[in-house]
Structure 1
Amino acid sequence: MDPATLEPGEPVKQFSVMLQNRAGALASLTKLLRNNNIEMVGISVQDSRDATIARLVLTDPDLAEQIFIEKGIPFTTSTLVVIALKEAGPGLLQVLDTLMVAETNIDFAYALMPSAKGQALLAMHVEDHDFASTVLNQAGFKIVYQCDLSR
C-alpha cells in the first residue's frame, strides 16, 4: 500500500444521544462529560415534543462511549468527514462544489467550535466516508481527524 494514501488518523466520531425533552437535560449531559475531562467541540440539536437528539463531537470518544454505556444513556455513533476551512464562506462553496462534481451526497452538516488554530471546521455525514475524504483531500482540503480534536 502506498504510504501517501494512508489516513493519518481515525475519522471523527459523532454521537447521537437521545435526551428527555426537559429543561436542563443538555446541561446535565455537558456537566457529566466535563466532570470526566471530555469537552464538546461540536453540537447539533434536533428537538421534538418527546425527545431531543443531540449530535455531539467530543474530545475523548472512547471514554464518552464507556460513560454512556455505564449510565444507560442511549446513543448511536457514526463517522464524519471534518474539513478545516481557510475561508468560511468561499471555502464552504468549494467543498459543496467538489462533492457535487464527485456525485456524492451530504446527509447532514454542521459547524464545529473553532479549532485551536482558530480555523472554521465543517462536519459532514456523507453517504461514503472514504470516497468523500479521498475526493476532498485530492482537491486540497485539510481533513481533520479525531486526534486533531482531542485537546
Structure 2
Amino acid sequence: MVHEMKCPYCGNPDTRVIDSRPAEDGSSIRRRRSCDSCGKRFTTYEKVETIPLIVIKKDNNREQYDREKIEKGILQACYKRPVPAEVIEKTVEQIENEIFNREEKEIPSKVIGEIVMRRLKDLDEVAYVRFASVYREFKDVNTFMEELKSILDKK
C-alpha cells in the first residue's frame, strides 16, 4: 500500500523528493521534499518499523519499551551537570541502538539499567552515581560508599 506524503503547509498530496540521504543516526533516511502546489519545502524521516520490544520488569510484569523512560532517567541523573543536551540525546540513541541490536523480543529492565549505567559512567561520574543510587536502590551510606570507592579505585 503506497501512501502519498501530504504537504504540512497546504495538505496537497502531490509532493516530490528532491534529496535523500542517511540521517545522522544512521538508522533512518532524511528526505527533503517539495510541494508541487505551494512550492514550500519540508523534511521527512523514514525509519524501519520494528516489532515492539517488551521490557520484563523486576516483578516479572511486562510492558512495552518506552524511550522516554531512558531519556527521563538520564536527564535526572545529569541535572545541573556540565553535559550538553546533544550529548545526552546521542547517548540515548546509542543506548537504544545497543538494546535493539540485541534483536530480542523481550529484554529484562535490569539489562537496560546496566547498559545505561555503563554509558553514564563514561559520560559523567556524578550522573552515574546518581543513576546507580536509584537503580541499585542503595540501602545505606555504606553501599553508596562502596560504589564510590569502586569508581575511585579504577582511576
TM-score by length of 2: 0.27
Structure with the bigger percentage of strand: 1
Of structures 1 and 2, the one with the larger relative CO (CA 8 A, separation 6+) is 1
TM-score by length of 1: 0.28
Structure with the bigger percentage of helix: 2
